[in-house]
Structure 1
Amino acid sequence: MSVVDGLPFAEEKKDYILKTLDPILEEMVSDVLADMPKVPMDFMIQWLIKRTGRAADATEKISVSQRNQNLKQELRYLQGSLEEASTAAAAPAEEEEEEEDEDDDCDEIPEAFRKSEESMGKTRTSVSAEAYGAWNQKKDFTPPDHPKTDEQKQRLKQTLSKSFMFSSLEDKDMTTILGAMKECKFEAGQKVINEGDNGDFLFVIEKGQLECLKTSNGEEKVVKTVNEGDVFGELALLYNCPRAASVVAKVECICWELDRESFNYIVKDAAVARRNKYDEFLQSVTLLASLEAYERSQIADALKPEKFNKGDCIVKQDDPGDKFYIVEEGTLYALKVIDGTETRVMDYKVGDYFGELALLKNQPRAASIIVESESAKVLSMSRLSFNKMLGPLADLLSSKVKSYK
């Protein structure tokens, strides 16, 4: 039995719902639910802008005003379709014939919308969350299971534990992901991802180093280097957009590949929620608020939450420093031994950061940091991630480091 059976639409419209409208709405509603924006209409407009930009022929030149007009027509059509489906679900069965007759008189679909459908029909539908309505339900999913030796499984699990996206998975989900991932080996100089392509996979690096390159003025420039434990190729899956950059193996590499469908079912919702939560929080951190959204998302991926109780010492004076911290919850204070006496020299609240001095100057911890509130949560970043993500901010950080004097 089809999911549109019983709806008071003509067969042509039911077929249109299944083949054209349903995939678009399912993906949009899934992304709206993942983000839960305060202004859903604005989010949907931006979502449609991105999708139209992806689906449009690269050689087709449309004026900005015409593109905006097309998007408004698309949104009105989608809104009307949602309202129509909602009304139909509550309509008495005996009104079916009358409704079908009325439906046949609806306006013709805008030309721009019809063009984008051809490309949209070729893209994958998002299945990471249930959307509204009985006709838009989550499909059955059986994850792939690529055979691995015990030694391979152990190596992969250790690699995944280094990644924010996988380290917090439940045991059963981790087992499924371990089975679904496939080992890939790349030679030095081999191109793994092409900028602008559709993305079907993400990769986790077990061994080696790769460079991410973006094309600017016809020239490819290295914008980022990824190393062991890093994930790349995830943006195309998280946000259903083309590949943002090309990725080339700098040396011989071993990576693990995860397909889009397995990612959507098991990892995507949790990853999007976590990334969005930290991105919003990072915007409240004065030091990082001016960064681009992409840069903040990379920092969000590198942060790991740590919880402490009142009186706990997060860092100890004179110990070597290997982490940078941002206060997410609670209050802290710094104690420094001066002339043999412990002196309170600094207070920290939500959004404050500490630990940068030891990393910037490669010195021992200048003071001890103690939890003052009943509990506290901090977001930590390793030395490697700190140098890689916050390197461009080194001068600004240096000018603001605490002397604890």
Structure 2
Amino acid sequence: MSHSSNFESEATVSCAVPRSGRTLQNFLSRLKPIVSDSGEIEAMQKILSEGKKKSTQDIEEAFSQLNQLPRNVPKCFSVFIDRKRTPRPFRLGFLSHEWEVNGISLRVEGEEPHNGSSLIKLDEVDFTLVGLDELLAMTQYYLRDPTHVTKWGMYNYQLIKPTSIRVAGSAELTRYNPVLGCEVQDMVGFFLISKPGGRGRSKIDFQTLSRYGRRVFVKGRYSGIVMAAYPGLQVEPVENVEDSVMDAEMGSVGIEIVQTGNTLRSKGLLLHGAPLFLSESLYVVDYDRYQSKPQLRELLETLNPLGYFDDRRIQHFARWYLALETNMRESWLDRPDVEELFCTRVDPERGLRPYRLKTRNWRPHDSYKREEAMMLADESREKLKRFYEQLKTPNSTEKKSHIQLELR
């Protein structure tokens, strides 16, 4: 059973998601097995998949598209301004819909991606679907040291100012990757990229660029994150990092979100080293509401957020890394080992240690079972390395999507 509602009762769990895009599509796919009417989700996805190509500068045309939607499609859409694209066209996007999940009413609301954490701060939703990139852009103020939050598993540990914002875990959203021929999770890295060429240039890494005050192109919303991490950089906010690097002189540098590397490869750009941080779609929750609202706790249990060191996430990470490595090949310079990118030797000291939803404040303790947690982080690095090597075996007769992690 599903229905729309203009009133959120105490028993309704509210969730903010992006109005359009892959994350929304993947989240709707995740809902299919747990809601009673998956057919209506497929109808929604079809409309959403056509939204980008039907975007228009004519607002009347956009509303005409809305009014002409088939009658069998749920009334869950609206017209919005696509600010991620030039020149900010009008298009159809997701507004709101309500589903029943195991007897719990789940109200899903479309929002700007970076507004999710703000809605939790304002006590307006129970949880949201957001990446670490957007979370860092909007909530640096609450963190002890934002530069130490290079993976989402460190976020809760680094919170020092009063806030109910907490990362529950990974949403495990996947999509088909043609490079590996299987589903790969929506992981991304905030990488240095450059235009090949240029004489007498210094090494391209964050420390060297910061030391020499090099100009670096950065998408506007991420400027604060970069300047906080490396104040020596000459940050130039731009709308499109890849195009700005391409249009500048040889050797020019930018910092860009990279998932598959397809665009970089098509433009002949280079990828450098380890990213400033890793990101993926996360369930970010109002922790105060989680403690007081049993429906929210039950729903999260159904959604089953993955922990950073969960075995299934380790497998996802290996596939994502291998897909990016295979796609970029020698264009990924100074490529870190997979286990080092996953968790460096110093990361556990900065809070990258396992925690569960039963753990108080969803953060690792500095004394209770600390050594045990450190050992688990090391074991996870070894598991990841073994699984990655299995994936790389060229004569493997099993499909990469079916290779199982050897746990012992």
- For this structure pair, what is the TM-score category when the shorter chain's length is used for normalisation? under 0.3
Bigger Cα Rg = 1
> TM-score normalised to the size of structure 2?
0.27
Provide the TM-score with structure 1 as the length reference. Answer: 0.27
Higher relative contact order (CA 8 A, sep 6+): 2
